[in-house]
Amino acid sequence: MKKTLRILLGASIILLALAVTIVSSSFPGAVVAGRKIPGPAFFPVLLSIILVPSGLYQIAAGIKTQAGEGGWSFGLGAANGVIIVTALVAYVLLMDVLGYALSTVMFSMVLLLRLKVPFLKAAVISLVIAGFIVAVFGRVFLIQLPAGQLGLPW
């Protein structure tokens, strides 16, 4: 089972990298002062380039794994992985509705509470993180952060 899972994980990582590269190719280029510079596709393509060898490694490790070696168990690490991935998906989906700031506070709270940080401390840290990011990127660098359907000012 472990052998099959590792091979499937590696193939999934490679497919994800290819999908990101294909989608990124439709991003507009960037030209400043008549000179072409890396545009919005640069970072996703760079991450895809890093993901492909990682996927190949997982496939190779899966092939080397003996058929009966190990088993599959759903332990604390796997539960944390599922919680993090679920929280990330919810974060991205809720950002359009609730806006960047509120979604970030909620996402931080979920992760901090999962790490057993006391509620009040988690709330303060989440608010400070969201406030800092909004202040730096939204106010200083003037990057437009999603306001969501609620239209929250920050």
User: Whose structure tokens read 């406030």?
Assistant: 131
pTM over 0.85: no
pLDDT band at 57 (very low <50, low <70, confident <90, very high): very high
Residues 6+ apart with CB under 8 A from 105: 126, 127, 129, 130
CA dihedral for 47, 90, 122, 98, sign (positive or negative): positive
Instruction: Provide mean pLDDT across the span 125-136.
Output: 93
User: Looking only at Cα atoms, what is the longest distance across the chain?
Assistant: 61
Q: Which residues pair with 31 in a beta bridge?
A: 36
Q: What is the pLDDT of residue 148?
A: 83
Asked if residue 2 lies in contact with residue 71, where contact means CB atoms within 8 angstroms, the answer is yes
38 versus 146: which is more confidently predicted? 146
**Each residue's pLDDT tens digit, 62-121:** 888 776 555 555 566 677 878 888 999 999 889 888 989 999 999 999 999 998 999 999
Q: What is the pLDDT of residue 154?
A: 57
Q: What is the pLDDT of residue 141?
A: 82
Res. 31: pLDDT tops 80: no
**Using only C-alpha atoms, what is the Rg of the chain?**
20
DSSP 32: E
Strand 35-37, strand 30-32: pairing: antiparallel
Average pLDDT across the chain, whole number: 85
pLDDT band at 153 (very low <50, low <70, confident <90, very high): low
Task: Give the Cα separation of 112 and 118 in Å (integer).
Answer: 8
pLDDT band at 1 (very low <50, low <70, confident <90, very high): low
Q: Which of 99, 142, 143, 106 is nearest to 126 (CA)?
A: 106
